[in-house]
Every structure is written in structure tokens, then in C-alpha cells.
Amino acid sequence: MNKKARLAIGVASLAVLVAASVVVYDVFSDRVDTSDRVAIPDSGGEPADRELAPDFAMTDWAGNGIRLSDITARGRPVILNFWASWCPPCEAEMPDFDRVHADFGDEVEFVMLSVTDGVRETVETGRRFIEDGGFAMPVFFDTSREGAIAYGVRSIPTTLFIDGDGYVITGVQGAIDEDILRRVVDFMLDG
């Protein structure tokens, strides 16, 4: 085999290795515990330094249209969680969200947003998952994926924390646990 053929095989092998690494990362990145990487800011900063939470339309449990701005206008902190019923990390974190909602639902708005694509995730599968789990937190449906697009959600679960003035404080991509949720809620309420 000549040098050019070996070089071509080497380059092709490297390209395959890089492509396989990207695929493996995409598949397994949702399964990595990122809870120790949630950045809880020391201060909210000035509004000019922060990002106003992008607004979008969604559907509530009863099928009514509602906008995120309708919820942020209430002046309470908001936890915005993008999830789907087929997602194992989403399934794993739901009981934690439900427990934190039970303790703080009067002080913090929970927007548990099922990202529906009409095929893998539908309003019906999302509802069934919530009912079967006995979860009491408010559930909404992103039937047009307007919310996922507005926030650039590339994988689920993704959770954003929005202060009472409607500014994004922090967020995390991947599953988070009850301890992290409680720490961020405490910050949101005390900060």
C-alpha cells in the first residue's frame, strides 16, 4: 500500500472517530449528572446585564392558549422545565420537581413544559405520564415547539430559572435533583 492510500485511510478513520464521538456525546450527554455544575449567581445584577426571558405561546392542561409572559407578569420567580415522557432523565427528575412544587408552589411558578412533536411526544402521552405518576405540578404543552426554539433547547431535560422581574437567572441542561432545585429556589426567594 502506498503512502497516499495509507494517508487517505488514516484521514477517513479519524473522520469516522470524530463523527462517532459527536454521536456518543449527543446520546449520553443527557444522562450525565450536571447538578454540580449549576451556576447559582451571587447577585441578580442590573437588568441591563441580564437577559429578559423570551416569551412564547403554549397550551395549558385544559387546552387553552397561554403565554409565558402571562405567568412572569405575576411577579413571582418561575421555574421553566422542558421535558418529554419518553426521556429517562426527565422521568427521573419529575418526582423531585413535584416535591419542590408541593413545598414552594405558592411562592414560585412552575412551568413544566412538555415538548411535543406530535409523534414521539404528544399531548396525550404527556398527560398520561403526569396522571400515571400522580404529579400535581402545573403542566403545559409546547405543541408548536415555540418555547424550545425561543430558548434554544437542544436536549431535554433543560431547566431555566427566571426571577420575579422576568429575567433569566440561570439554567441547566440535563437532569437536576431535589437538593439543587431547593438551593436555587432558596436563592430565588432570598435573592
- One pLDDT digit (tens) per residue for the chain, 191 residues: 777 767 667 555 555 554 544 444 454 444 434 444 344 444 444 545 678 999 999 999 999 999 999 999 899 999 999 999 999 999 999 999 999 999 999 999 999 999 999 899 999 999 999 999 999 999 999 999 999 999 999 999 999 999 999 999 999 999 999 999 999 999 999 86
Distance of CA 125 to the CA centre of its chain: 18
Predicted pLDDT of residue 107:
95
CA atoms of 66 and 113, how far apart (whole Å): 12
Predicted pLDDT of residue 190:
87
Cell digits for 57?
Answer: 405561546
Predicted pLDDT of residue 53:
94
Q: Which of 144, 150, 92 is nearest to 121 (CA)?
A: 144
Q: Which of 114, 92, 112 is nearest to 177 (CA)?
A: 92
Q: What is the dihedral of CA 46, 155, 31, 119, to 10 degrees?
A: 140
Strand ordering across the sheet containing 109-115: 51-52, 167-173, 158-162, 78-83, 109-115, 139-142, 57-60, 65-67
Cell digits for 73?
Answer: 407578569
